Amino acid sequence: MTDAQDAVIRVIDLTRTFYVGDMAVPALQGVTFTIERGEFVAIMGASGSGKSTLMGILGCLDRPTAGEYFFEGIGVSGLDEPDLARLRSERLGFVFQSFNLLPRTNALENVMLPLFYSETAEHTRAAREQRARKALAQMDIANKEKSTSGQLSGGQQQRVAIARALINEPAVLLADEPTGNLDSKTSHEIMETLLTLNREQGVTIILVTHEVDIAAYADRVITMRDGRIVADEHPARADMALRKEQTPEPAMHGRKAASNRRNGAASWYFSTMVISVALQAIGRNKMRSMLTTLGVFIGVAALIAMVAVGQGANEAVQKRIASLGTNLIVVLPGATTTGGLRAGFGSASTLTVNDARAIRREDPAAAQVSYLIRQSGQTQYANQNWTTIIQGVAPNYPPITNWQIAAGRGISEEDDQGAALVAVLGQTVYRQLFGANGSAIGATILVKGVPLRVVGLLAAKGQSGFGQDQDDLVMIPFTTAERRVLGVASPTQQTTTSWVYLPPTNPFGIQPRLTGFVNQIYVQAASPDDVQKTIDQVTETLTRQHRLMPGDLPDFSVRNLSQIATAAQGSSQIMALLLAAVASISLLVGGIGIMNILLVSVTERTREIGLRMAIGARRRQVLLQFLIEAVFLSGMGGAAGILGGVAISEIISLVGGWPTRILTSAIVGGFLFSAAVGIFFGYYPARKAARLDPIDALRYE
């Protein structure tokens, strides 16, 4: 009768010792028995006699300290974690005293749960539902499939739990005090159900109870005391043989083959389950989840805004350079030393027209050379006046710096040679003096009191990207500026001339005229590749012109425009840096917040994790479940952060006047970054969940 072929469970000299501190608790002290297919066994004994410990080992949730355990002839001690999980999933069913249904999940879904961890289950949801309905019908609660555990009585909950345990058609049903929480009428109903399962479907049942009338349903009663078997009786031995004949043999070989079939569809279903579980967990604590994602939200928003500000500034610079010509080099006067004091930058010009001529003459890499003097001063027309920048320019200055003529004409060679009293207006000055529609060409305006005829209007260049109005200027011929309007190229001279307090007139008509000085020299390189060569040649020429000795501080500086633009970029870089700091701190704090909440969640759901493991979840699957929850949390924060970031950059550009530019790569990057935060900070709690000991997790209160 006990031929090894049909022994579903065989344990030999099983011991299990727990350690509490340094005290050893011998829960099992040498247990040996064999259970055959189709048996209905009750394990009895006083509380603390080791029944639950034994069930944990039989259920492959716990390992013995010593001894052998064979399940269907296979030595369990040689199996690794995935194999044990598969045994639990496919060959074992668990029923607990406390039912362990998932809260806020309906009966049908509770019953379907083990299918998600099974490799052999059907792959369509319809088929799975059908199977779960069948199991529910078998337990006589088909009408309760939409009810959650809170809406079911204890007996109904236990029926759902038994349906769940049976859904994968296990060889053995392990029930640890399944009637412990039920009244006696319900208890007997449940026992009748179990008996029917055993009799009609041949399910091997091992049941723990300490009630004699419950144990009476079983054919065999094993009694334990202090971790040992003290009695093993077959009160109803007579009909065992009869029943054994009827027991349908499960198709073992077919199952084995099927279990090796790893199917993409199965893992797809697992993923959808994991995602829906993650969403449920998040949705269950909406407020908590929202607060958790706040850090990531702020971080990603700051990140997006930072990139937008940085990129916007960058593009403004590029545009500016392009608007002036990429080949352009500017020579600026440097500091001069007067009386031992180094005066500030541009205090008096050290550059002259002769310098410009020398560059034009001697530097082959320079295609064009131009120069200007500049001062701020007042312009006047009729009763309108406007203080602006007055530029005395060489005739080739507007074309090489990309100034277009919108109306009339520009400054000609003849104007310059004859120091003609003409002016070309920038759009802003034109608007200020003539209003929006006035005709300016041919009108005579006063520039620093000198009457000049307007011959042309410059096309608008607009804001410089840093909030400067480039159109607020008047251009006049260089010679006119030098001889008649500005007089001296030194910017240290009073530049805001007041027309109320006129400067004292010179009684002898002698004006100190420092002619020949310029404020800037513009050199256009022959091609963009020649820019560096041109800079070198210009530097050399000016060093010679100014008779600088080696070691002297140069009194000029030669820069290409991108250098100047980069310097102007500084302020937006500070803004970007600030945002970067906010972003990184926020993401860190957000990540820690997610980790914290997930740790709480793992603790809250310890029993659920234990249950999932008991019904066949592998550690990897538990890990994945929590990791996905973390990624969902951070991903949601990230998605919201992207919207927030776009809004912030819009506000920055609207209110602050900063140029901003949203990049698709920043959006994608922000999203990936938030997901990475989820993975990074979610890993620790997820691993903690995956590493839980199933038996401890199930016992967790």
**Of 626-645, which residues contact ligand ADP (CB under 6 A)?**
none
Show the CA angle centred on residue 133, arms to residues 130 and 135, nearest 5°. Answer: 115
| Closest to ligand ADP by CB, 175 or 266 | 175
* Closest by CA position to 194, among listed 41, 47, 36, 8: 41
Which is it for strands 422-425 and 450-458: parallel, antiparallel or unpaired? parallel
Q: Which residues are CB-neighbours of 660 under 8 A, at least 6 positions away?
A: 305, 308, 309, 311, 312, 649, 650, 652, 653
Task: Tell which positions 277-296 bind ligand ADP, by CB under 6 A.
Answer: none
Minimum distance from residue 641 beta carbon to ligand ADP (Å): 44
Q: Which does 48 bind (CB under 5 to 8 A by kind): ligand ADP, Mg ion, none?
A: ligand ADP
Nearer to Mg ion, 111 or 229 (CB): 229
Quickly tell me which residue has 């440097």 as its tokens: 334
61 and 695 Cβ atoms separated by less than 8 Å: yes
CB-wise, 237 or 699, nearer to ligand ADP? 699
Output the smallest distance, CB 27 to ligand ADP, in A: 3
The per-residue DSSP string of 286-327 comes to: HHHHHHHHHHHHHHHHHHHHHHHHHHHHHHHHHHHHHHH-TT
Of 18 and 345, the one with the shorter C-beta distance to ligand ADP is 18
- The angle subtended at Cα 195 by Cα 193 and Cα 201, nearest 5°, is 95
CB of 176 to ligand ADP, least distance (A): 7
How many residues contact ligand ADP, by CB under 6 A?
A: 12
Q: Which is nearer to ligand ADP, 209 or 541 (CB)?
A: 209
Q: Which span sits near ligand ADP by CB under 6 A: 40-48, 133-141, 285-293, 538-546?
A: 40-48
Q: Do 323 and 565 form a contact (C-beta atoms < 8 A)? A: no
Nearer to ligand ADP, 45 or 682 (CB): 45
Taking CB under 5 A as the rule, which mask of x and - marks residues 35-74 in contact with Mg ion? Answer: -----------------x----------------------
Q: Which does 268 bind (CB under 5 to 8 A by kind): ligand ADP, Mg ion, none?
A: none
Task: Quote the least distance from Cβ 219 to Mg ion, whole Å.
Answer: 22
Q: Binding string, 671-690, against ligand ADP, x = CB under 6 A?
A: --------------------
- The token pair that represents 394 in the structure block: 């060489």
**3-state DSSP percent of the chain in helix, strand and coil, to 5:** 50, 20, 30
Backbone phi, psi, residue 588, to 5°: -65, -50
Name the minimum Å distance from CB 50 to ligand ADP: 4
Taking CB atoms, the residue at the shortest distance from Mg ion is 52
Segment 532-571, which members bind Mg ion (CB under 5 A)? none
Q: Two tokens at 193?
A: 């159900």
Residue with tokens 């010179």: 506
Token duo for residue 217: 């349903």
Give residue for tokens 């790893």.
Answer: 262
Provide, rounded to whole angstroms, the least separation between the CB of residue 170 and ligand ADP. Answer: 21
Q: 536: which 2 tokens?
A: 């070198």
Residues of span 13-32 touching ligand ADP by CB under 6 A? 18, 20, 25, 27
- CB-nearer residue toward Mg ion: 230 or 265: 230
| Minimum distance, C-beta of residue 62 to Mg ion, in the bound complex (Å) | 13
Q: Which is nearer to Mg ion, 53 or 396 (CB)?
A: 53
Q: Least Å distance between CB 46 and ligand ADP?
A: 7
C-beta closer to ligand ADP: residue 222 or 373: 222
Distance CA 374, CA 455 (A): 19
Could you give the string, one character per residue 490-509, with x where binding to ligand ADP holds by CB under 6 A and - elsewhere?
A: --------------------
Minimum separation from the CB atom of position 692 to ligand ADP (A): 13
CB of 210 to ligand ADP, least distance (A): 8
Q: Which is nearer to ligand ADP, 583 or 698 (by Cβ)?
A: 698
Residue whose structure tokens are 């040498």: 30
Smallest separation, CB 195 to ligand ADP (Å): 23
Q: Which is nearer to Mg ion, 175 or 666 (CB)?
A: 175
Q: Shortest distance, CB of residue 20 to ligand ADP, whole angstroms?
A: 5
With tokens 């806020």, the residue in question is 104
E strands in 382-526 = 384-393, 405-408, 422-425, 444-447, 450-458, 473-477, 517-518, 520-525
**Residue 20 near which of Mg ion, ligand ADP, none (CB within 5-8 Å, type-dependent):** ligand ADP
Residues 346, 347, 351, 352, CA torsion sign: positive
Q: What is d(CA 173, CA 176) in angstroms, rounded to the nearest whole number?
A: 10
Q: Which helix (H) or strand (E) holds 415?
A: helix 413-417
Q: Which stretch binds ligand ADP (CB under 6 A): 41-49, 84-92, 511-519, 531-539?
A: 41-49
With beta carbons less than 8 A apart as the criterion, state whether 372 and 391 touch. Answer: yes
Q: How many angstroms from the chain centroid is the CA of residue 10?
A: 52
Q: Which is nearer to Mg ion, 177 or 471 (CB)?
A: 177
Rounded to a whole number of angstroms, the CA Rg of the chain reads 45
User: Binding pattern to ligand ADP, positions 44-63, x when CB under 6 A?
Assistant: -x-xxxxxxx----------
Task: Please answer whether residues 8 and 172 qualify as being in contact, where contact means their C-beta atoms are separated by less than 8 angstroms.
Answer: yes
For Mg ion, how many residues bind (rule: CB under 5 A)? 1
Residue 44 beta carbon to Mg ion: minimum distance, rounded to whole angstroms:
11
| Interacting partner of 53 out of Mg ion, ligand ADP, none (Cβ under 5 to 8 A depending on kind) | ligand ADP
CB-wise, 27 or 424, nearer to ligand ADP? Answer: 27
Strand order in the sheet with 74-75: 23-36, 7-20, 66-71, 74-75
Strands (E), 353-479: 366-381, 384-393, 405-408, 422-425, 444-447, 450-458, 473-477
**Residue 345 binding partner per list Mg ion, ligand ADP, none, with a CB distance cut-off of 5 to 8 Å that depends on partner kind:** none
Q: Which is nearer to Mg ion, 84 or 175 (CB)?
A: 175
Q: Which lies closer to Mg ion via its Cβ, residue 49 or residue 541?
A: 49
Of the candidates 356, 360, 393, 363, the residue with the CA atom closest to the CA atom of residue 375: 393
Residue 667 Cβ vs ligand ADP, minimum distance, rounded to whole Å: 50
- Say whether residue 174 binds ligand ADP (CB under 6 A): no
From its phi and psi, is residue 18 left (phi > 0), alpha (psi between -120 and 50) or beta?
beta
Q: Which two tokens stand for residue 301?
A: 């928003």
Other C-beta atoms within 10 Å of 416: how many? 20
To Mg ion, the closest distance from the beta carbon of 48 in angstroms equals 8
Out of ligand ADP, Mg ion, none, which partner does residue 499 contact, by CB within 5 to 8 A per kind? Answer: none
Distance CA 71, CA 34 (A): 10
Residue 267 to residue 697: CA distance in whole angstroms: 25
**Residue ranges binding Mg ion (CB under 5 A):** 52
**Residue ranges binding ligand ADP (CB under 6 A):** 18, 20, 25, 27, 45, 47-53
